[in-house]
């Protein structure tokens, strides 16, 4: 394999920018550079571009444009929602899971350590799904107003939450519900009008859009205060000159992802199933993490391999061979603390875990090459 042919199987971390998205962004990087807050036509043109993007995103998610706020990405969106739930909506108790993204976990831990909230972790079932009975018991036993923050799909093992079931449970107990939907917006259809959720998040770079731009959806019945103070941008909610080309790129990427959803999702799911088959056939002792064939992301496959001296260096060896994948073992030596997700669902010190995540640009030929390398390494 030549050094130029890189196999990129880390699409859950970030994706390549679609050429059509770049094309939509270009005019705003060059001649259309007016400040959206200016009153002359130059500014009005860029202001219009932002509002057109907002309407487009809202329409695709079946939300109201006033419910969509543009941010710098998933981390900012989750931080904003969680902090607002505590400081503006009066939540005194947070219920989350041990396998959330750090953007959520570190935010709730910070609030807990500052003495602002009580904190509970919902139990997980053996397949990595959230135990909904335990969630209901936690809510029933909670005297204070609760915030439930549970991700729609896990970025390491791919498990998908029943967001409607959780929303209904939250409704029953008057809890605020925030869902980190970074792995699912742009990968699945949404109907927010008919989804009982207060906050969801997204990041453009997970579906072939630009990095550094995302959204926070805030249900119209929720009233929160500004979190960045200054100018009147984003309807006074987030001051600072807008990331114009990012916003235009985000909307374009979401439009393309939505148009191509049927074909792309079927194709990518085929790749995942093909890789599972080949691993089962050709690599002894390999196991899959999460509910891989059930409620699971079609983009993500987490595989645990038997730990040997050779396999301990698996990511390094894949990297040398121009194969990009990401780690996620329960415990690893050195600075890397290992994955909190894998520890929670499969705490086996005799296994090395690798996450492979796919996009429409991957092929079966690439999978064959990777399987060949894995056989050599293991």
Instruction: Indicate the SS3 state at residue 130.
Output: strand
d(CA 107, CA 5): 39
Task: Report phi then psi at 159, rounded to 5.
Answer: -60, 135
**What is each CA distance from 263 to 8, 82, 126, 165, 266, in whole angstroms?**
20, 35, 32, 28, 5
d(CA 264, CA 288): 23
Is there a contact between 208 and 18 (Cβ–Cβ < 8 Å)?
yes
d(CA 324, CA 13): 10
Write the CB contacts of 78 (distance below 8 Å, at least 6 apart in sequence).
101, 103, 104, 107, 149, 178, 180, 201
What order of strands is seen across the sheet that includes strand 68-71?
Answer: 68-71, 214-218, 199-203, 176-179, 146-149, 93-96, 118-121
Task: Specify whether 331 is catalytic.
Answer: yes
DSSP 19-31: HHHHHHHHHHHTT
Write the CB contacts of 99 (distance below 8 Å, at least 6 apart in sequence).
124, 128, 151, 154, 156, 157, 340, 341, 344, 345
Q: Per-residue b/e over 40-55, b at no fewer than 16 CB within 10 Å?
A: eeeeebbbebbeebbe
Is the torsion defined by CA of 307, 309, 311, 315 positive or negative?
A: positive
Q: Encoding tokens for residue 247?
A: 């916003």
d(CA 183, CA 164): 17
Q: Which of 142, 146, 324, 331 is catalytic?
A: 331
- Active-site positions read 331
């Amino acid at each position: 394999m030549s050094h130029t042919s890189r196999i990129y199987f880390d699409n859950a971390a970030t994706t390549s920018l679609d050429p059509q998205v770049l094309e939509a962004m270009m005019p705003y990087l060059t001649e259309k550079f007016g400040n959206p807050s200016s009153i002359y036509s130059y500014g009005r043109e860029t202001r219009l571009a932002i509002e057109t993007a907002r309407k487009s995103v809202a329409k695709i998610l079946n939300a109201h444009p006033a419910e969509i706020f543009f941010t710098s990405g998933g981390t900012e969106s989750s931080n904003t929602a969680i902090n607002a739930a505590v400081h503006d909506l009066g939540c005194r108790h947070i219920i989350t899971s041990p396998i959330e993204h750090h953007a959520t976990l570190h935010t709730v831990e910070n609030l807990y350590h500052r003495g602002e909230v009580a904190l509970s972790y919902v139990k997980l079932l053996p397949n990595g799904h959230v135990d909904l009975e335990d969630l209901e018991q936690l809510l029933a036993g909670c005297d204070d107003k609760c915030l439930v923050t549970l991700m729609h799909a896990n970025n390491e093992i791919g498990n998908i939450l029943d967001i409607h079931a959780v929303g209904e449970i939250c409704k029953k107990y008057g809890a605020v519900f925030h869902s980190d939907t970074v792995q699912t917006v742009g990968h699945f259809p949404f109907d927010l009008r008919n989804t009982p959720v207060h906050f969801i998040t997204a990041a453009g770079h997970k579906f072939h859009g630009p990095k550094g731009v995302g959204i926070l959806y805030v249900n119209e019945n929720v009233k929160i205060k500004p979190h960045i103070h200054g100018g009147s941008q984003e309807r006074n909610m987030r001051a600072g000159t807008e990331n114009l080309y990012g916003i235009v790129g985000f909307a374009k990427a979401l439009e393309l992802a939505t148009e191509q959803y049927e074909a792309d999702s079927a194709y990518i799911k085929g790749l995942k199933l093909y890789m599972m088959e080949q691993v089962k056939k050709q690599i002894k002792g390999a196991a899959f993490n999460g509910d891989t064939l059930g409620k699971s992301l079609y983009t993500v496959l987490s595989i645990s391999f038997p730990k040997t001296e050779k396999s301990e260096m698996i990511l390094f060896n894949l990297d040398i061979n121009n194969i990009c994948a990401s780690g996620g073992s329960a415990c690893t030596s050195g600075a890397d603390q290992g994955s909190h997700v894998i520890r929670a669902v499969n705490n086996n010190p005799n296994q090395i875990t690798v996450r492979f995540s796919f996009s429409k640009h991957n092929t079966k030929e690439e999978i064959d090459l990777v399987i060949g390398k894995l056989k050599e390494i293991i």
